[in-house]
Amino acid sequence: MNNKGSGLTPAQALDKLDALYEQSVVALRNVDWPPESPDNQYHLFK
């Protein structure tokens, strides 16, 4: 990764990293994995 000349201070870089982490956590919470199928539900509640 080329980060030369980004113009960010270490504090700014940490702020951006923290924001990206929060976005990642929210995105992963919204992922339905593994996807539930009607067959899975049938076998679970049989």
What pLDDT is attached to residue 39?
A: 64
* Digit-coded pLDDT (tens) for 12-37: 999 999 999 999 999 988 886 666 66
Q: Give the model's pLDDT for residue 37.
A: 63
Q: What pLDDT, on a 0 to 100 scale, did the predictor assign at position 17?
A: 96
Judge contact between 29 and 21, C-beta under 8 A: no
Residue 1 has pLDDT above 60, yes or no: no
Geometric angle at alpha carbon 9, from 15 and 14, rounded to 5°: 25
The secondary structure of 1-46 as a DSSP string is ---TT----HHHHHHHHHHHHHHHHHHHHT---SPP-HHHHHHHT-
